[in-house]
Amino acid sequence: MRISAVETYSLKLSADAAYLGQLGDGTDPPAGYAVRPPWRSIYSDRYETLLVRLVAEDGTSGWGEALAPVAPEVPAAIVDLLLGPVLIGKPALAPRPVFAALRDLMRERGHLVGHQADALAAVDIALWDLAGKLTGLPVATLLGGAFRDAVPSYVSGLPRPDDEGRAALGAEWASRGAKAVKLHLGNGVATDLSTVDAVREAAPALRIAVDAHWAYSVDEALALAAGLAARGCWFLEAPLAPEDIAGHAELTSRATIPVAVGETLRNRFEFAQWLTARGLRIAQPDVARTGITEAMAIAELCTAAHVPVAPHHSVGLGVALAAGVHVSAAVEGLAAFEYQPTSFTVGQRLLTEPLAVHPAGFPVPTGPGLGIDIDAETVARLSKES
């Protein structure tokens, strides 16, 4: 069985609330692309993503998704111009060899990262979904079997502009069965710790982690880490500039709370550098940036280094979510999988049947491939409207 067609769909979906909610002053983000201070990254006021559909000779489809929170047209063009033509005629039951061939197209040019990697991640997820659909097996089974039939998760973000609102939302999630939350902060050490205190007071049973969005220097991150450790918090994510391996290694060696890193990294070679440098205590690959093949390679490296894996998930929609759940099920040393409630809700628009979720975890889909069915007509319509 061979691959006979490759299709791309760039989506930009509106929702009742933007990713990460209102700005710090309580106003809605501006339309289009903008920076959300104090963070430095550019964000969209919509949920943007790239879907890739691979079609086998018998008409069977496999779907993949790239984490493309801004300008999904860019990785779409890479699939259309570079990856798609090579995919035609490739075997539909060989995800790993096909992934390796596509990876090698641009590696000598330094394109194992960035938009090229994002495009390849979407294709790779589609390859595994297609193989599962053709064999009738879930992706987790194709990966060698699941270590668990339900994946533990934490609620990511309490998207309210002030501590009172975050505390109330934290208490609401705790009442619904959530066991842990991650706060999206980086507003200054004292301010961040005050937010943690407010949420802890409102929901004392919740385990709390903090995503600092790369906002701090080493000295500031050490102070924040000390404060979080004193409060019994879970982990500190993305404390320093994402390229600063040495700084993270220093922080990790001195902090008494685990440092989590990984959403910006795309492949096993990058993670190997961080693991060798001991720059992280929790690894956070995003399957919609690495693909399934590379995510499993990364997980094996982490297992050998005794570093737990907590796959990242942010604005990826239903396909990326299902891929992340299957990988999380097949990873030996799993800490947890990230649950983004708003992204989850938006992503259900693309599925004929919603994915199951509980605030404390995700049941692993048991159907063939990713275990989801895409509403192709809805995807095509939304792509044209974007």
Question: For the segment 278-315, what is each residue's pLDDT rounded down to a tens digit?
Answer: 999 999 999 999 999 999 999 999 999 999 999 999 89
The per-residue pLDDT of the chain, averaged, comes to: 95
Containing structural domain, residue 179: 142-363
Q: Are residues 59 and 156 in the same domain?
A: no
In a domain, 369, yes or no: no
Cα 90 to Cα 266: distance, rounded to the nearest angstrom: 24
Q: What angle do CA 154, 160, 165 make, to 5 degrees?
A: 95
CATH value at residue 207:
3.20.20.120
Cα 99 to Cα 97: distance, rounded to the nearest angstrom: 5
Q: Are residues 173 and 303 in the same domain?
A: yes
pLDDT score for 19: 78
Q: Are residues 185 and 88 in the same domain?
A: no
Rg of the chain's alpha carbons, rounded to an integer? Answer: 20
CATH value at residue 9:
3.30.390.10
pLDDT score for 385: 79
Residues linked to residue 211 through DSSP beta bridges, in sequence order: 184, 237
Total number of domains in the chain: 2
Q: Are residues 49 and 148 in the same domain?
A: no
What's the pLDDT band for 351 if we cut at 50, 70, 90?
A: very high
Cα 292 to Cα 307: distance, rounded to the nearest angstrom: 19
Q: Give mean pLDDT, residues 331-356.
A: 93
pTM: 0.95
Q: Are residues 152 and 226 in the same domain?
A: yes
In a domain, 332, yes or no: yes
Q: Which two tokens stand for residue 8?
A: 């791309």
Task: Please give the positions annotated as active site.
Answer: 312
What's the pLDDT band for 18 if we cut at 50, 70, 90?
A: confident
In a domain, 186, yes or no: yes
Q: Are residues 115 and 238 in the same domain?
A: no
Q: Which SS3 state, helix, strand or coil, does residue 370 take? A: coil
In a domain, 370, yes or no: no
Locus of tokens 């001195």? 254
Q: Are residues 152 and 282 in the same domain?
A: yes
pLDDT score for 296: 98
In a domain, 239, yes or no: yes
Q: Are residues 190 and 175 in the same domain?
A: yes
Instruction: Extract the runs of DSSP E, i.e. beta strands, from 36-193.
Output: 42-44, 47-56, 61-66, 150-156, 180-184
Q: Are residues 86 and 197 in the same domain?
A: no
Per-residue pLDDT at 23 exceeds 90: no
In a domain, 355, yes or no: yes
Q: Are residues 128 and 170 in the same domain?
A: no
What's the pLDDT band for 34 if we cut at 50, 70, 90?
A: confident
Q: Give mean pLDDT, residues 202-223.
A: 97
What's the pLDDT band for 45 if we cut at 50, 70, 90?
A: confident
pLDDT score for 236: 98
Q: Are residues 169 and 119 in the same domain?
A: no
Q: Are residues 203 and 337 in the same domain?
A: yes
Q: Give mean pLDDT, residues 108-128.
A: 95
In a domain, 223, yes or no: yes
In a domain, 191, yes or no: yes
Residue 273 main-chain phi, psi, to 5 deg: -65, -45
